[in-house]
Chain A
Amino acid sequence: AQKVTQAQTEISVVEKEDVTLDCVYETRDTTYYLFWYKQPPSGELVFLIRRNSFDEQNEISGRYSWNFQKSTSSFNFTITASQVVDSAVYFCALSETSGSRLTFGEGTQLTVNP
């Protein structure tokens, strides 16, 4: 069965600090997808990134970067120079190509203080 663990329940940083959100996953499939979503206080789920299991290249998008390491089953998310608007709950999620469900982690509440 697939499982996603986000061990950090809450993180609080001061604006302009870098912050890394951890995600560890479990799956028996060899082909799968990993996702990050942002959930701001308004409640919607905002898609940030999708990664397939065959692509271990790290990705950078502006202040966001992702580090995918199959050897440790981790898909960590770093925000550089954090801003107050980054305050949200961030979810890591996994889908297996053998099934149709998206399994979410428990989420990490990030608070960026001015």
Chain B
Amino acid sequence: EPEVTQTPSHQVTQMGQEVILRCVPISNHLYFYWYRQILGQKVEFLVSFYNNEISEKSEIFDDQFSVERPDGSNFTLKIRSTKLEDSAMYFCASSERQSYGYTFGSGTRLTVV
């Protein structure tokens, strides 16, 4: 069964450093998403991406965050200057159609120290 692949599974970074979280969505999917889950809390939407541009973003997704699809397979989330409160599990997801059939990756646990 097709999978969404996320790397790394765990990343530790110092406050103020830039991090890039990587995702390989399912190959025939057209919509890509990032979600965040702070430990013990619910899963929160960050951003959706379609046709090489952001289609929707949440209030969490401020100027510190950016997304990119640098080639035909990868989808990345960059956090420019990490803060302690960015520590969370970040999930990538993809879907064939909008709002339908999301497949989630296994997540990247980001720890900011």
A106 engages B35 (CB within 8 Å): no
**Interface 9-residue window, one of B15-23, B40-48, B63-71, B79-87:** B40-48
Q: Is residue A55 contacting chain B, with contact meaning CB distance below 8 A?
A: no
Is there contact, CB below 8 Å, between A100 and B107? Answer: no
Assess the A33–B99 pair: CB atoms within 8 A. Answer: yes
Q: Write out the residue numbers on chain B whose beta carbons fall within 8 Å of the beta carbon of A106.
A: 41-42
Contact of A100 among B89, B98, B109 (CB under 8 A): B98
- Is B7 in the interface zone, CB < 8 Å from A? no
Looking at the assembled complex, report how far the CB atom of A22 sits from the nearest CB atom of chain B, in whole angstroms.
15
Q: Chain A: which residue is nearest B91 at the CB level? A: A45
Q: With A100-B33, A100-B99, A101-B48 given, is the CB distance from A43 to B109 under 8 Å? A: yes
Q: Which residues of B contact A73 (CB under 8 A)?
A: none
- The answer on a CB contact under 8 Å between B43 and A47 is no
Bound Cα distance A105, B37 (Å)? 12
Give the residue name and chain of the A residue nearest to B104 (CB). Answer: A45
Known contacts A33-B99, A95-B99, A95-B100; 12 further A-B pairs (Cβ under 8 A)? A37-B104, A43-B89, A44-B104, A47-B104, A50-B100, A91-B43, A97-B98, A99-B56, A100-B31, A102-B102, A104-B42, A107-B42
**Which 9 pairs of residues, A with B, have the shortest CB-CB distance?**
A100-B48, A95-B99, A101-B45, A45-B104, A104-B43, A44-B106, A100-B56, A106-B42, A104-B42
